[in-house]
Copies of this chain bind each other. A is one copy, B any other.
């Protein structure tokens, strides 16, 4: 092993905790997919998520497995180890903190932050992350309503449901988006749907699940594709 010979801006000491940009992205993707793939994330799912080929995924999984960041048995899918989970959460923490920074301090709209945060999340400096967190006032949620892990990796799983699950006449507060794509967020902006606003389901169509909602004294008809991507805290 010549791990210690690798160049590292922090010197040799922290070597074992440092991962490449690509490794970090895979860890993050596995973390997110583990919600849907409880007993092992499949190679194809990971390839889809990473916008790459299954063979590339297999290669990377082997490397991550070699470093004990994932548990992997051939053809059995992959799961994060404790170390892998911790590394993934650290990257997610940075991603979301930077998103808050971009929106709160640099006049970015919530639909513009993701791709820049994808770059910033890989900056390596414990002090930077800690100070950024403090500078932002230890935010609990990112601009899309997702929880921000603290420096220990702890975060509260938000108590929320999808708007599509609400029944007629139920109300709640819009607290997050499931889809953070530019397209979806721009649709929401255009239709005055924003986090923090109160929603009421005025009508619900059995056939296609489309619903008429009320928001800020405004009525709006939305399809299931929309309501299934909005998180609501019921009141």
Contact = CB atoms under 8 A, between A and B. Distances in A.
A127 interface: yes
A193 to B, nearest CB: 24
Interface string A107-127: 110001001101110011101
In the assembly, how many copies of this chain are there?
Answer: 2
A131 interface: yes
Contact of A115 (B9, B106, B107): B9
Nearest to A131: B106
Contacts of A112: 127
A61 interface: no
B123 A108 contact: no
A52 to B, nearest CB: 9
Contacts of A105: 135
Interface residues of A, number: 22
A148 interface: no
Contact of A124 (B7, B119, B128, B132): B119
A92 interface: no
Contacts of A119: 9, 123-125
A15 to B, nearest CB: 16
Contacts of A107: 131
A128 B115 contact: no
B106 A135 contact: yes
A151 B108 CA distance: 18
Nearest to A7: B51
A235 B27 CA distance: 57
A102 interface: yes
A2 B187 CA distance: 35
Question: Ordered nearest first, which 8 A-B pairs have the shortest CB separation?
Answer: A106-B131, A116-B125, A119-B123, A9-B115, A116-B128, A107-B131, A105-B135, A106-B135
Given A106-B131, A108-B131, 11 more contacts: A9-B115, A105-B135, A106-B127, A106-B135, A108-B127, A115-B125, A116-B123, A116-B127, A116-B128, A120-B123, A123-B123
